Amino acid sequence: MYDRIKGFIENSVTPIGYRRISKIFNDEGLKTPRGTSFTNSKVHSMYKKGLIREERMNREDIVEVSPVTIELIIHPILGRIRRSPYEKRFT
């Protein structure tokens, strides 16, 4: 549905408005995903969300992986590491 709306808006010599697009869809007997008839606001919403989805799918993901550090933390009062009684010790 988004592709058709995008075609009407972007690929036409004279762009068609949302109200006229909704009339075209209703004349063809199409229904929205919720089963209701099209209105200009629903066409606009589908177009806007489609642009956002298209941008998200086509963008480059930036992933940075940094080295992992593990620190041993000793309890300041007890002076030792508290272990769970259920923890298995390997010594």
User: Angle, to 10 degrees, between the axis of helix 40-58 and the axis of helix 2-10?
Assistant: 100
Which band of pLDDT confidence, cut at 50, 70 and 90, is reported for residue 82? low
The CA-atom distances, in angstroms, between 78 and each of 37, 71, 75, 88 are: 70, 18, 5, 21
pTM recorded for the entire structure: 0.61
pLDDT reading at 81 higher than 70? no
